[in-house]
Amino acid sequence: MKDITKKYTNGQMTIVWKPSLCQHSTICWRRTTGLPQVFNPAIKPWINPLGATTEEMIVQVKKCPSGALSFFMNAEE
Ligand code: SF4
């Protein structure tokens, strides 16, 4: 897969997703381990950065085992 980087922002922070790194672990979107209101592969775009608080999304992004998900605070860019 090409080295694509997608970004999704809520204005305060930006979630960065690199599909080539994603191992499809399902951790981010499974109901028991993830934030399905933010990460939902059944719809496009599959990341809705307005689905949870910034704090909740930061915690979830840090659980991604592959490094496909990362984030930055917009003010820091
Ligand atoms: S947690 Fe990371 S590796 Fe797993 S499905 Fe989500 S983005 Fe892909």
Residues near ligand 1 (Cβ within 6 A): 22-28, 64-66, 68-69
Domain boundary assignment for the chain? 6-72
pTM score, two decimals?
0.93
| pLDDT tens track, the chain, 77 positions | 578 999 999 999 999 999 999 999 999 999 999 999 999 999 999 999 999 999 999 999 999 999 999 999 998 55
Q: Which ligand 1 atom is at minimum distance from the Cα of 17?
A: 7
Fold type of domain 6-72: Alpha-Beta Plaits (3.30.70)
- CA-66 nearest atom, ligand 1: 3
Ligand 1 atom with the shortest distance to the CA of 27: 1
Closest C-alpha to ligand 1, atom 8: 22
- State whether the Cα torsion 58-6-24-1 is positive or negative: negative
Q: Alpha-carbon Rg of the chain, whole angstroms?
A: 11
